Structure 1
Amino acid sequence: MAWLFLVLSGLGEVGFVTSMKLSDGFRRWKGTAGAVASGFVSFYCLSLAIRDIPISTAYGIWTGIGSIGSVLLGMFFFKESKDWRKLIFVAMIIVGVIGLKVVSGV
Structure 2
Amino acid sequence: MAWVSLILAGICEMLGVSMINKLHKDRNWQSFVMLLLGFGASFLFLTYAMQTLPMGTAYAIWTGIGTAGGAILGMVYFGESRDWKRIVFIAMVLSAALGLKLVS
Q: TM-score normalised by the shorter chain: which range applies?
A: over 0.9
Percent of residue pairs bearing the same amino acid type: 39
TM-score (norm 1): 0.94
Q: Structure 1 CA distance, aligned partners of 2:102 and 2:43?
A: 23
**What is the CA-CA distance between 1:32 and the residue it aligns to?**
0.5
Tell me how far 1:27 sits from its aligned partner. Answer: 3.0
Task: Structure 2 unaligned segments of length 5 or more: list them.
Answer: none
Query: What residue ranges of structure 1 are gaps of 5+ in the alignment?
Result: none
- Matched residue of 1:51: which SS? coil
Structure 2 partner of 1:65: 65
Equivalences for residues 66-85 of structure 1 within 5 A: 66-85=66-85
TM-score under structure 2 length normalisation: 0.96
Q: Is the Cα contact below 8 Å between 1:21 and 1:31 reproduced in 2?
A: no
Tell me which residue corresponds to 2:10. 10
Give deviations 1:11-65, integer Å, cap 9, x for gaps.
0000000111111278321110000001110000000000000000000000000
**In 2, distance between residues paired with 1:99 and 1:26?**
38
Aligned length: 104
Match of 2:99 in 1: 99
> Is the contact made by 1:10 and 1:63 (CA closer than 8 Å) also made in structure 2?
yes
**What amino acid is aligned across from residue 14 of structure 1 in structure 2?**
M
Taking the TM superposition and a 5 Å limit, the aligned residue runs for 1:10-89 are: 10-24=10-24, 27-89=27-89
- Secondary structure of 2:27's aligned partner: coil
Contact 1:20–1:26 (CA under 8 A) maintained in structure 2: no
Partners of 1:4 and 1:95 in 2: CA distance: 18
Q: Name the residue aligned to 1:90.
A: 90
